[in-house]
Chain A
Amino acid sequence: DTGVSQNPRHKITKRGQNVTFRCDPISEHNRLYWYRQTLGQGPEFLTYFQNEAQLEKSRLLSDRFSAERPKGSFSTLEIQRTEQGDSAMYLCASSPGGRELFFGEGSRLTVL
């Protein structure tokens, strides 16, 4: 499968713990996006990378959230000191530079 790959698919953690999600985009896609989706809502934009540069961050991305794309390939999204309100599906998407985004299956986070 050459689509966008995300792992882990599911993560259950206790409040206050740190979690990290990984996204492997489609090969040669230089643009990478993170979104968050909660029940009954559409995906909400979190942050955007062009190659290794993080060019935009949403106000939703509090200082407990950090995202990296160190070599312009895979990306990680870390949440520190998780809170119950962080429970959501975290989606990664990549794009070859055009206007269409290709989404992964998401990483579901449950904070107890």
Chain B
Amino acid sequence: AQSVSQHNHHVILSEAASLELGCNYSYGGTVNLFWYVQYPGQHLQLLLKYFSGDPLVKGIKGFEAEFIKSKFSFNLRKPSVQWSDTAEYFCAVNAGGATNKLIFGTGTLLAVQP
């Protein structure tokens, strides 16, 4: 069965620090990969997605992620975080099939201190 691992459960950074959140998935076939963000009191929103092509994908708000197939990884990065990036971040994999359901990781809670 497909699974997604997020290694950092809780990250605390100061504003302007760089961010990297790890995500590894287990699935040997073609995958579509996503990062969703959930700001306090809000719904899950898509941050960025990878379907195919350039393994470095850029999303909203200055976030980017790199798909490394050999490492089964899809890490999220941002060079300089802001206080408004405080949120929970979820990595997800869609292994296709008839349903296109997403399998989520357990999430990383990011707190950015001003």
Q: Is B70 an interface residue (CB 8 A)?
A: no
State the interface size on chain A (CB cutoff 8 A): 25
A47-76 near B? 1/0 per residue, CB < 8 Å: 010000001100000000000000000000
Query: CA separation between A103 and B102, bound complex, in Å?
Result: 12
The reply to whether A41 and B107 form a contact with Cβ atoms under 8 Å apart is yes
Q: Which of B12-20, B44-52, B74-82 contacts A (4 or more CB under 8 A)?
A: B44-52
Known contacts being A42-B105, A43-B104, A99-B51, is A56 close to B43, with CB within 8 Å? no
The reply to whether A42 and B100 form a contact with Cβ atoms under 8 Å apart is no
Q: Which of A42, A43, A95, A102 has the most CB of B within 10 A?
A: A42
Query: CA separation between A23 and B78, bound complex, in Å?
Result: 34
The reply to whether B43 and A106 form a contact with Cβ atoms under 8 Å apart is yes
The reply to whether A42 and B107 form a contact with Cβ atoms under 8 Å apart is yes
Complex interface residues of chain B between 31 and 72 (CB less than 8 A to chain A): 32, 34, 36, 42-46, 49, 51
User: What residue of chain A has the Cβ atom nearest to residue B6's Cβ?
Assistant: A42
Q: Is B87 an interface residue (CB 8 A)?
A: no
The reply to whether A48 and B102 form a contact with Cβ atoms under 8 Å apart is no
Interface, chain A (partner B; CB < 8 A)? 3-4, 31, 33, 40-45, 48, 55-56, 91, 93, 95, 98-106
Interface, chain B (partner A; CB < 8 A)? 4, 6, 9, 32, 34, 36, 42-46, 49, 51, 90, 92, 94, 98-107
